[in-house]
Every structure is written in C-alpha cells, then in structure tokens.
Structure 1
Amino acid sequence: MSPPLRILIADDELVARRRLARLVAALPDSTVCGEVADGEAVLDTVRAGGVDVVLLDIHMPGLSGLDALALLPAGGPHVILVTAHPDHAVEAFEHGAVDYVLKPVDAARLHKALERARSRRAPPPPSEAPARPLDRLPIPTRQGIVLVAPEAISHATLEDELVTVFTAQGDFLTDFSLQELVERLPAEGFHRVHRRALLNLAHVTRLEPLETGGYLARTGRGHTVEVSRQSARELRRRLGLRRGGEEEPTG
C-alpha cells in the first residue's frame, strides 16, 4: 500500500485554506502537511522536504502562484493550481502543473486532481526509461532537425507561447516547453531564472542588479535575460555571493 500524499496548501485567504484542509481530511490516503499564505513560503517549505503535492493559489502577495510554480526545483512536488481565475490554465500547464481546479472547489474534482498527481508519483513501468539529459538536443526547423550540444545553449525564453533556444549555432524555435528543457538538459549548468527563461550560467559574463531585487544577466553573445528576485537569491547562494556583491561579474 502506497503512503498517503503529503499535501501543502498555499492560499493567502484563511477561509480558503481551511476549506481545502477539510476537503483533504475527508479524502483517503491524503494528509495536510502544512499551510502557507505566499509564494516564497511555498518555496521555503518545499526546500525543507516532506511535500508530495502543492495545492497552489495564483493570486498571492509577493510571488504569485505561477512565479512559485516556475521556480520549484525539478523533481519537486506535483502542483495543482486552485484558483477562481480560469484564464491562466495554459500558462500553468506550460510550467508543469498536473491539474487546474477552479474555486469553489468540489470534493470530487479535488479527489480526481489528487489521483492524477498520485499516478504521476508512481515509478514508470519497467518497459519505460525515465527521461534523462540529452547528449544533444534535437530542435526541429524548416531546414530539418538541428542537433545542439547542451553546452552550446546560452539560454531559452518563452514568448507568445513559443520557446526559443539561443545557441552558438543560432537561435531556434522548439516544441519543447521550458519545463521539458529543464528535465532534459544537465541540471548542474542550467537554471530556471524566471517563469519565462532558462539560463546556462557558463554563458553569463555579467549579472547587473535590478531595482526589483533581481538581475539582468548578460551573455557572451550580447543577449540579456531577466533573473527574478527569488532566482537571484538562489544564484547568490550558488555563486557564494553576499547581498552586497552584485556588482561582481561571473566571468
């Protein structure tokens, strides 16, 4: 018998959190492991471990639910967006959400969403190989499929629902989502620095501080990539920088 799903509830409204907690308590093999009221608390709680699923509201103070979703680590908990707003579903699934549940939440609908998350937690059958980083990334173009070595990729961005991969060979549109690129490219070099951007630190020549608390990353080819405030904190930790060291270049 599989262990119960450990569920983190994230909503800035106390009434909404209590309602979700009651619904979860009535479901089999599910338990609430915590409640938080903003996106940064979601990230902190997930880093501490012990979370299988996040029931995540979109409109919260500070980081929105979509911002937090984009910044969750690869291999982290599954996310179910729980919101009163139906117009963010495409973006939610682009960032890897397993389901999108509208408020007011129905118990049967929540149970269905949690079962979907539970099925994704199960290990793949023996006949299926898990996704692994690619030696070369295939990018379909009008001239054929371009095979690009991961180390040649400087960054990738999402614009108008299309992802562009920037490489030493040129810039290419791809059918991969940013989340799929995160899963397929080497984790040690690539960082999801914004909900619309993936960055290879090996190609960054300078990080320029922004008033928002984030950075503007400049690549060797002269491109700029925005780094969100939360991702900036992660980069400072990874690079061993103190808060006052933003002016130092990375290369």
Structure 2
Amino acid sequence: MNQPLRILIADDELVARKRLARLLAAFPDTTVCGEAADGEAVLEAVRAGGVDLVLLDIHMPGLSGMDALALLPEDGPHVVLVTAHADHAVDAFEHGAVDYVLKPVEASRLQKALERVRNRLVVKVPESGKGSAVEQLARPLTRLPIPTRQGIVLVDPGTISHATLEDELVTVFTSQGDYLTDFTLQELVDRLPTEGFYRVHRRALLNLAHVTRLEPLETGGYLARTTRGHTVEVSRQSARELRRMLGLRRGTEEEPPA
C-alpha cells in the first residue's frame, strides 16, 4: 500500500470543505490532515509540517489563494487550485500550481489531479544500462493522435519535447518534426501522460526528458534548452516547482562548479 497522500483542504466555505472531504474519503491512500478557512491558516498548517498537498481555494478572506501560494516555501507541499471560475485556469499554472479543479468539484476530475500530484512526489531516475529517460518514458505509451491541417499525425508522446502557444495556435515540437495543431494546451495536458510533462508557462508545455539545461533569468524563471536546441520560457512560479521537484535550492544552479 502506498503512503497516504496527506491533504490540507483550504476553503472559506464550510460546505465546500465538507464536499471535498467527502470526495477524498472515497479515494484510497488519501487522508485529510487538516482544514483551513483562510490564507493565514494555510501558511500556519504548512509550517507545522505533515502536508503533501493543499487543495487551495482562490477567493478567501485576507490572503487569497494566489497570495498564499506565492508565500509557500519552495520545499513545501504541492498545490491544486480549486476555483469556480474557468478564467483562473491559466493563472493557476503561472503561479506554480500542479493543477486546477473547477467547482463544483467532480470526483473524476479530482482523481486526475491527485494522480498528477503523486507522479510529482516520486521522481524516477533511470538506472545505468537501462536506457535514457526518453526511452523509458516512450516504451509503455500509446500513440497520441494530433489533428493538423494536413491530417491526423500519430505521435509517440515520448518524442514530444514541448508545445507552445503563439497567436492562438499551438505547435507541438517532436524529435521527428513540428506540428501545428488545433489542440489547445489544456487539451494536450489532458491527453499526455501525467509523468514528465509540465505546464511551465501559460503559453508552454514542457517534457523534462528533453531538457538539457535550465538557464536562470532575472525574472526568477528559467530558459529551458531542449535536445533540439529550442528554448522554452519557464515562469517564476513554475521554476520554483521545478527546483523543488529536482531537489534544488534557489541559487544552486547559479553557483560555479568547484
């Protein structure tokens, strides 16, 4: 049995907290470790420790969900934003959240968000002699159908390095070539494997298996360089999430080699 995912429910409405608690009770390997009705209580609970994930409402008295997210420590828990407004979805990724869930929360959508969190809690490093991270990622996956203006292209998800949004159109970059698609970035997120792919900017999705270098920016974010030489901007909040996932402290990547 997996170690239970310790979840803090943060919402200023009691009814909303009870609904989330009821939904979580039906999932195996999850436990509600506490509740919070405002941003200050969230920060206090996180400082006390024992929290793996915060289900964080955006609109709360005092500190908003976005404010509390910005104040969480880099080595703190993962965050899934819970909101009643779809227009906050883009901001969720920009602020470093793993995912967002729309109210009223549905069990199937909540389960998918929990799966994303679990995949980030376990960082798998390829063992010597067993192939690269790209090879290991590609083997168990099926083909992803990408609708393009030239027809449907069947792509191995493991070959996708990143996808970017430019002028309301998404381009998917792969080892074999680049494809302009009618998919939105969110539709790609929903269809791709939860492991390895990350929404690193409101206009970018990145596969870490294809990243060769993360160059720090003055904004606090990164410029990710891929194996094909492309560059992808990583937002400041997403950079914080990457540092935590990779076990880095802020500034570590800027230190010269000994």
CA contact (8 A) 2:90 2:202 kept: no
- Aligned 1:80-159 pairs, distance under 5 A: 80-81=83-84, 88=87, 91=90, 99=102, 113-114=103-104, 116-117=105-106, 120-121=109-110, 134-159=141-166
Aligned residues: 192
Q: What's 1:234 paired with?
A: 241
Deviations 1:106-136 (A, max 9, x none): xxxxxxx43x53575589xxxxxxxxx8511
Using the alignment, how far apart are the partners of 2:159 and 2:245 within structure 1?
21
1:50–1:230 CA distance, 2 compared to 1 (3 A) = closer
1:203–1:35 CA distance, 2 compared to 1 (3 A) = same
1:209 to 201, 205, 216: 216
1:243–1:26 CA distance, 2 compared to 1 (3 A) = closer
1:244–1:98 CA distance, 2 compared to 1 (3 A) = closer
1:233–1:192 CA distance, 2 compared to 1 (3 A) = same
Q: What's 1:56 paired with?
A: 58
Q: What's 2:4 paired with?
A: none
Q: Are 1:8 and 2:10 counterparts? A: yes
Deviations 1:66-112 (A, max 9, x none): xxxxxx97xx7572246xxx9x378579997554xxxxxxxxxxxxx
1:174 to 169, 174, 181: 181
Normalising by structure 2, report the TM-score. Answer: 0.55
1:60–1:27 CA distance, 2 compared to 1 (3 A) = closer
- Please tell me the residue identity of whatever aligns with 2:83: I
- Aligned 1:181-220 pairs, distance under 5 A: 181-220=188-227
1:139 aligns to what SS in structure 2? strand
2:106 aligns to what SS in structure 1? helix
In structure 2, list runs of 5 or more residues that go unmatched. 1-7, 22-33, 71-76, 113-139
Using the alignment, how far apart are the partners of 1:211 and 1:244 within structure 2?
12
1:181 aligns to what SS in structure 2? helix
Using the alignment, how far apart are the partners of 1:237 and 1:227 within structure 2?
14
Please report how far the alpha carbon of residue 155 of structure 1 lies from its aligned counterpart in structure 2 after TM superposition. 0.4
Q: What's 2:228 paired with?
A: 221
1:182 aligns to what SS in structure 2? helix
Please report how far the alpha carbon of residue 143 of structure 1 lies from its aligned counterpart in structure 2 after TM superposition. 2.0
- Please tell me the residue identity of whatever aligns with 1:79: V
Normalising by structure 1, report the TM-score. Answer: 0.56
1:139–1:187 CA distance, 2 compared to 1 (3 A) = same
Deviations 1:28-56 (A, max 9, x none): 75679214449x96xx79x92475x5432
1:232 aligns to what SS in structure 2? helix
Using the alignment, how far apart are the partners of 2:170 and 2:84 within structure 1?
22
Using the alignment, how far apart are the partners of 1:145 and 1:55 within structure 2?
38
Using the alignment, how far apart are the partners of 2:191 and 2:180 within structure 1?
16
Using the alignment, how far apart are the partners of 1:26 and 1:242 within structure 2?
35
Aligned Cα RMSD in Å?
4.4
Please report how far the alpha carbon of residue 231 of structure 1 lies from its aligned counterpart in structure 2 after TM superposition. 2.2
Deviations 1:138-180 (A, max 9, x none): 1112221111111211101233443221112222233433334
- Please tell me the residue identity of whatever aligns with 1:244: G
